[in-house]
């Protein structure tokens, strides 16, 4: 006897990176930030315990105002949720349910999960030979979901391409969703395009650039009409999504722009130093505008290299999909950690 619904039985869930409990690792498998959150976060959380008897602000007003201030948009253009994954889920339900959504074949692997969950016909477009996104292939007659920079390749698509897709989607009464989880590490962002396109929705996370992966805070920016649609979906699930601690922590973190900029610069410096070390050793590494590198560790299957790294106390991500099997995704640690990791990669890949 099956008590589960056909939907529950038929889903193929997203598989997250390993969260080890057995020993200490250089943990580079889940794209976390190697540096702690802003010191202002701890200050903001102090003394909040008595207030936890009350429900949080359901609209996360102070946080939305802070996000708007830093990004140069209006608070009514901002929506907050429990991590960008929840915001993405609401967006799939609000804008793509019952429609054909196009996305790159290689992208964030939660997209097909949400498509399956919310009744979205999910059509993929292969990457080009150089692993860049096929913009023309994505521009058909419906909505598009795009991670930019892309995951797990790390490659960045310039804003002119985003503008073309936004215009094309608008001509077909469709939303363009741009997932900017790694925007802090990229040369530019699609935020200025919000002034031109009312069908553009940008989704962000506090997990990468603000070191708040443990708090689960994400947000979207778009036209107030799009934000209202997200709010309707949210309120059908849980009208108090962000707790008081998360709102306070995220507000303090995003307003400390100087601290964020300094940490981001260190991550980018480690990324570029590591990439140059690997390239000098003859190892293929894709150009990255994120906090990780996509490294070709074997012509056919990088699994043995991943396991060898784990034996040496280094965790990196390996994907089972056929096109990704030769590659490892290596998140950035501290400069010192990355010199050790680069040395291990050179030694193991060139065996």
CB distance 157 to 189 below 8 Å: no
CATH of the domain at 327: 3.90.1150.10
State the pLDDT at residue 9. 82
| 274 found inside a domain | yes
**Domain, as residue range, for 277:** 6-30+258-349
CATH of the domain at 56: 3.40.640.10
Show which of 255, 286, 321 is a domain's final residue: 255
Same domain, 91 and 10: no
Q: State the Cα–Cα distance between residues 13 and 319, nearest whole angstrom.
A: 15
| 282 found inside a domain | yes
| 212 found inside a domain | yes
Same domain, 177 and 80: yes
Same domain, 118 and 221: yes
| 143 found inside a domain | yes
Q: What is the pLDDT along the chain (351 residues), one digit of tens a residue?
A: 678 888 888 877 777 766 776 668 889 998 999 999 999 999 999 999 999 999 999 999 999 999 999 999 999 999 999 999 999 999 999 999 999 999 999 999 999 999 999 999 999 999 999 999 999 999 999 999 999 999 999 999 999 999 999 999 999 999 999 999 999 999 999 999 999 999 999 999 999 999 999 999 999 999 999 999 999 999 998 887 899 999 999 999 999 999 999 999 999 999 999 999 999 999 999 999 999 999 999 999 999 999 999 999 999 999 988 889 999 999 999 999 999 999 999 999 986
Give the residue carrying structure tokens 């196009």.
Answer: 102
Same domain, 232 and 339: no
Same domain, 319 and 173: no
Same domain, 302 and 177: no
Same domain, 248 and 267: no
Same domain, 263 and 190: no
| 210 found inside a domain | yes
| 1 found inside a domain | no
| 270 found inside a domain | yes
* CB burial readout 275-313, b (16+ within 10 A) else e: bebbeeeebebbebbbbbbbbebbeeebbebbebbbeee
Same domain, 280 and 144: no
Same domain, 285 and 246: no
CB distance 202 to 190 below 8 Å: yes
DSSP characters for 295-342? EE--SS--HHHHHHHHHTTEE-EE--SGGGTTEEEEE---HHHHHHHH
Domain count, the chain: 2
Same domain, 82 and 214: yes
Show which of 191, 221, 255 is a domain's final residue: 255
Give the residue carrying structure tokens 């480690």.
Answer: 270
State the pLDDT at residue 1. 66
| 294 found inside a domain | yes
Q: Which helix (H) or strand (E) holds 28?
A: none
Show which of 190, 221, 255 is a domain's final residue: 255
Same domain, 222 and 302: no
DSSP class of residue 192 equals G
């Amino acid at each position: 006897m099956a008590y589960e619904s056909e939907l529950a039985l038929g889903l193929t869930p997203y598989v997250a990176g390993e969260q080890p409990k057995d020993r200490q690792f250089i943990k580079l498998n889940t794209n976390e930030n190697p540096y702690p959150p802003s010191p202002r976060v701890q200050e903001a959380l102090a003394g909040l315990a008595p207030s936890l008897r009350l429900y949080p602000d359901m609209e996360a007003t102070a946080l939305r105002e802070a996000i708007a201030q830093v990004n140069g948009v209006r608070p009514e253009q901002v929506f907050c949720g429990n991590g960008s994954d929840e915001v993405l889920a609401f967006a799939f339900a609000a804008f793509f349910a019952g429609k054909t959504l196009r996305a790159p074949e290689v992208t964030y692997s939660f997209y097909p999960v949400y498509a399956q969950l919310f009744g979205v016909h999910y059509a993929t477009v292969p990457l080009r030979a150089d692993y860049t996104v096929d913009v023309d292939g994505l521009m058909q007659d419906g909505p598009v979901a795009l991670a930019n920079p892309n995951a797990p390749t790390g490659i960045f698509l310039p804003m002119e391409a985003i503008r073309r897709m936004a215009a094309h989607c608008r001509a077909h009464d469709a939303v363009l969703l741009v997932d900017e989880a790694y925007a802090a590490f990229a040369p530019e962002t699609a935020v200025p395009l919000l002034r031109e396109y009312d069908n553009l929705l940008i989704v962000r996370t506090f997990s990468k650039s603000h070191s708040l992966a443990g708090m689960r805070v994400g947000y979207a920016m778009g036209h107030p009409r799009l934000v209202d649609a997200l709010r309707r979906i949210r309120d059908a699930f849980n009208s108090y999504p962000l707790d008081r601690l998360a709102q306070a922590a995220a507000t303090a973190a995003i307003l400390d722009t100087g601290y964020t900029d300094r940490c981001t610069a260190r991550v980018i410096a480690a990324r570029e130093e590591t990439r140059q070390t690997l390239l000098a050793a003859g190892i293929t590494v894709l150009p990255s505008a994120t906090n990780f590198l996509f490294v070709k560790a074997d012509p056919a299957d990088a699994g043995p290299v991943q396991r060898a790294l784990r034996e040496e106390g280094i965790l990196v991500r390996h994907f089972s999909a056929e096109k990704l099997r030769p590659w490892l995704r290596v998140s950035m640690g501290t400069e010192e950690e990355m010199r050790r990791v680069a040395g291990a990669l050179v030694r193991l890949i060139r065996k």
